[in-house]
């Protein structure tokens, strides 16, 4: 079944390379729901995510010949969406934070998930409540797997500032998770 889906995607992609508008539309319809989920992680609302999605697909279609077939096509397109979100972020709001602090690089997100019994969607909703600069750094590091050096280069900040921002984002998320846990314990006791 996966092979059939991969073959279909490959056929659609080959049509896109010949500027077949029908194939471009099919590619968009096939991949836009998943790519929208990526864009929503970086956007402040659905309208902004839609703008990022459109900008990303424009870049995909302009740069189709740059895909070398290494790795999955969907992964290549996802990376373009992340970069479209970063570009939009850099244009709209330069980040300014001043404080030197070394962040603990522990995998606290998975511990929060396991210790507090939160569902993935609950965690994603909390992440979405972070200030935009914190959310961007957190998403790039914890979800997309970027290094602090890559984040710094992408967002135009130092590696140390990326670490500091991640630390602050984690602190805010820990406070939000603690608040939820406290409310649930209060409801169960009362």
CATH of the domain at 66: 1.10.1740.10
pLDDT tens across the length of the chain (190 residues): 556 777 888 899 999 999 999 999 999 999 999 999 999 988 888 999 999 999 999 999 999 989 888 888 999 999 999 999 888 877 765 443 323 223 333 344 444 444 555 666 777 788 888 998 899 999 899 888 889 999 998 888 999 999 999 999 999 988 888 777 666 555 555 5
Say if residue 10 is in the same domain as residue 69: yes
Report yes or no: 12 and 30 within 8 Å, Cβ to Cβ: yes
Tokens of 160: 């140390």
Q: Which domain holds residue 54?
A: 2-92
- Does 100 fall in a domain? no
Say if residue 84 is in the same domain as residue 165: no
Report yes or no: 28 and 57 within 8 Å, Cβ to Cβ: yes
Sequence-distant (6+) residues with CB within 8 A of 9 are 27, 30, 73, 74
As a whole number of angstroms, the distance between CA 144 and CA 79 comes to: 9
Task: Provide the CATH number for the domain around residue 185.
Answer: 1.10.10.10
Sequence-distant (6+) residues with CB within 8 A of 90 are 155, 156
What's the predicted TM-score (pTM) here? 0.60
Say if residue 137 is in the same domain as residue 112: yes
Say if residue 78 is in the same domain as residue 124: no
Report yes or no: 77 and 63 within 8 Å, Cβ to Cβ: no
Which residue is it, tokens 């969406």? 81
């Amino acid at each position: 079944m996966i092979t059939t889906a991969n073959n279909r995607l490959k056929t659609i992609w080959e049509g896109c390379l010949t500027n077949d508008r029908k194939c471009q539309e099919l590619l968009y319809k096939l991949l836009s729901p998943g790519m929208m989920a990526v864009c929503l992680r970086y956007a402040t609302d659905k309208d902004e995510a839609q703008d990022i999605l459109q900008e990303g697909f424009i870049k995909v279609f302009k740069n189709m010949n740059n895909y070398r077939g290494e790795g999955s096509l969907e992964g290549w397109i996802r990376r373009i969406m992340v970069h479209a979100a970063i570009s939009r972020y850099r244009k709209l709001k330069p980040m300014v934070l001043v404080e030197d602090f070394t962040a603990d690089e522990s995998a606290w997100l998975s511990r929060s998930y396991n210790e507090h019994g939160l569902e993935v969607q609950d965690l994603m909703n909390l992440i979405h409540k972070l200030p935009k600069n914190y959310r961007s750094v957190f998403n790039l590091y914890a979800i997309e797997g970027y290094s602090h050096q890559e984040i710094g280069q992408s967002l135009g900040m130092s590696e140390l500032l990326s670490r500091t921002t991640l630390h602050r984002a984690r602190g805010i998320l820990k406070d939000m998770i603690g608040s939820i846990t406290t409310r649930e314990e209060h409801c169960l006791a009362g």
